[in-house]
Structure 1
Amino acid sequence: MDFSVTALNEMEENLNAVLRSILKDTRVQTVEDLNLTVLANKMNKNSLAKMVVDLAMLMHNNISVCKSAAAKIDELKSQVLVDQKTVIECQQKQLESVKTAVKTEIRSWSDIVRTNVSQAPSPSTDVIKNVVRNTVEQSDRNRSFIIYGAAEDEEKTPENILTDVFFDLNKQVDTIQQPKVVAVRRIGIQKQDASSARPIKVTLTNPDEV
């Protein structure tokens, strides 16, 4: 017998039918009231024989359903493992794509800075400062992300909110590891309107972690 919800329902109905028949023939209310004395006094040989045959058939069918259920569970487990492997492979491809894009962007920016510096015959101190500052700001942007919509009150600090964010991410994607945080703070001017919460800027150690 193949495993299915219908097969389980039929098995339950058959078991209940045989149980009701036994209780009726022995004239007792519950299974707990059954014992050898009741069976010997209230059932004849033919009734006992029929009851044994019915129970044997039910046990046979039950074993068949259990074997089919075990095979189905093994099949589902295998499919889950295949699906998990596929998801992990997709995540790795996406991560590699992001890494490549970030590295390309950083390399492009470095080329621009190097070209600008090489073309300047005698760069002034201000020019050098601007180039360095722009490079640092770009690096900071690559290593940072923003959390929007987090309520701004005295009960939860930005660090507490970031902890909650990492906790939620870990529940959704098992492969995520909590990165090392360099800085976390709210940015912008605080307003009196409670519904207008300032964004939270989080800076990590490198772009790959972002």
Structure 2
Amino acid sequence: MGKSIGIIISSEHPRFDCEYKKTFSALGYDVKKYIMDFVPGHGFNDDEKKLIKDHMENARDFLRGCDAIIYARSYGAFFINGISYIRSFFDVPVIFSTESIIKNIKKYGNKIYTITPYAQKRHELEIKWLNHYGIRSMASLSLGRDDGYLRYIEPYDLNEAVKIANKSLNIDAIYIACTFMPGISGKNIIENDSKIPVISANGAILNDFLELNL
């Protein structure tokens, strides 16, 4: 029997096929998708925690038999207590985009150039979250897109942002936020001519998945 992977995503995620299904199918895995309804918030308050509990119980049943799980969103998983809680629902390895981002950035250091697709308020929250883990955004760029407009960011847009980031001095890596971004499917375009390592949310997920060596 072949290996299978379960991927938990937001209902608004625009790139399941090109970022996940195509990538993991090419590696020889069957791919199952569990969709969590998008709701405002970060998964911190009691109502949001109840929503996470209900979804994880359903996801556990729906993804039963998978050899690994990818939680490809940040909702409820910004910090270790939330990550541990979600992980407790499964008896197979669970990769979190948030956890993978931090781990992969720290392979290079803790001084980064942060690129986010978000408008300014959410952009600043991303920088604050990184700082919680000791990662300093020495400079940053917000592409000013939120909500449905995130889906219209293409690899060439991100390549232009990476070119700007390459002009920065004294940074260890360039970080591209958000699993909605084409970090795997557009990797060659995004990172073209970059002299500084580039870590995208989805690229970090893939790196950690490959380390499982399933």
Structure richer in strand, relative to its length: 2
Q: Structures share a fold, TM > 0.5? A: no
TM-score (norm 1): 0.22
Higher helix share: 1
- Identify which of structures 1 and 2 has the higher relative contact order when contacts are C-alpha pairs closer than 8 Å and 6+ apart: 2
